Amino acid sequence: MTAAESYDEWFPSNFLKADDLDDGPMTLTISDIHPEKMQDGNSKPCVFFKEDKRALVLNVTNKNSLVMLSKSKSPADAIGLRVMLVQVEAEYQGKPCKALRIRKPPTLGGSEAPRPRPNPPQPAAAKRGRAPGKKTLAEDMDDDIPFN
């Protein structure tokens, strides 16, 4: 055995964890989603990626993100989907911790970003800060209400 920078090199995990993203987000392509048996003997749904041999154990929050991104409740519809894994601050049993979240990755060149709409031409009164036919505050306050 050689010297290691981290114990993780000697005991590699089959699953991604929040600490794996200390250096920043990862953009990956989903290759499969199926249950995997955990060390406690229970099976949990896991997301597998083309670019990484480790899987993401799926929680409800990330399942909801996949449903939103794939526009489907079927795991099969998420296969081939590009996602970005990000590290976030979360709470577990009332204590702060790091967590992984699935997000939509940014697009190259921002082609999917909404384009700003040009401002429609406005009447002269609107340019001065009020709608056409609307009284100024001073005009509106000039009424016949008596104050005693």
* pLDDT tens digits in sequence order for the chain, 148 residues long: 567 777 878 888 999 999 999 999 999 999 999 999 999 999 999 999 999 999 999 999 999 999 999 999 999 999 999 999 999 999 999 999 999 999 999 986 654 445 455 565 555 544 555 566 666 666 666 666 666 5
Domain assignment present for residue 15? The answer is yes
- The domain total for the chain is 1
b/e code 116-129 from CB counts within 10 Å (16+ = b): eeeeeeeeeeeeee
Domain assignment present for residue 147? The answer is no
**Residue 112 has which token pair?**
């999917």
Domain assignment present for residue 112? The answer is no
Domain assignment present for residue 71? The answer is yes
Smallest Cα–Cα separation from 66: which of 43, 88, 49? Answer: 49
The secondary structure element, H or E, covering residue 27 is: strand 26-37
b/e code 79-113 from CB counts within 10 Å (16+ = b): eebebebbbeeeeeeeeeeebbbbeebeeeeeeee
Tell me, rounded to whole angstroms, the distance of Cα 98 from its chain centroid.
Answer: 15
Domain assignment present for residue 14? The answer is yes
Domain assignment present for residue 133? The answer is no
Domain assignment present for residue 74? The answer is yes
Domain residues for the domain of 28 are: 7-104
E strands of 40-109, at which residues? 43-49, 56-57, 82-92, 95-103
pTM summary value: 0.68
Domain assignment present for residue 114? The answer is no
